[in-house]
Amino acid sequence: SQKIEQNSEALNIQEGKTATLTCNYTNYSPAYLQWYRQDPGRGPVFLLLIRENEKEKRKERLKVTFDTTLKQSLFHITASQPADSATYLCALPFSGNTPLVFGKGTRLSVIA
């Protein structure tokens, strides 16, 4: 069956360090993958989209990689700040133009 797994439910890191979150998927052939940030009780906020023919994408302190052979995406936040504390969700379509399927998310806590 098709599955998305985000490596851990929770991740604690010290301020200033780089946070690395993992998203693995099985039995998919997604054309792209997206990352969202979600604060408690709020809707997800779109961060980055990376397509299958892109290896890496950057936006300010954020970097996403997409390895279609390993079926894995890595999401990095460099120089992390306490304000980066949130749940981060990865999402991708089963294939083609099908709706997004979301992982359960990883709750990141950046400690000052």
Q: Contact positions toward other proteins, by CB under 8 A?
A: 4, 32, 34, 36, 41-46, 49, 89, 91, 98-105
DSSP 8-state assignment for residue 16:
T
Question: DSSP letters of 23-55?
Answer: EEEES---SEEEEEEE-TTS--EEEEEEETT-S
Tell me whether residue 14 or residue 27 sits nearer to other proteins (CB atom): 27
Residue 12 Cβ vs other proteins, minimum distance, rounded to whole Å: 18
Tell me whether residue 19 or residue 23 sits nearer to other proteins (CB atom): 23
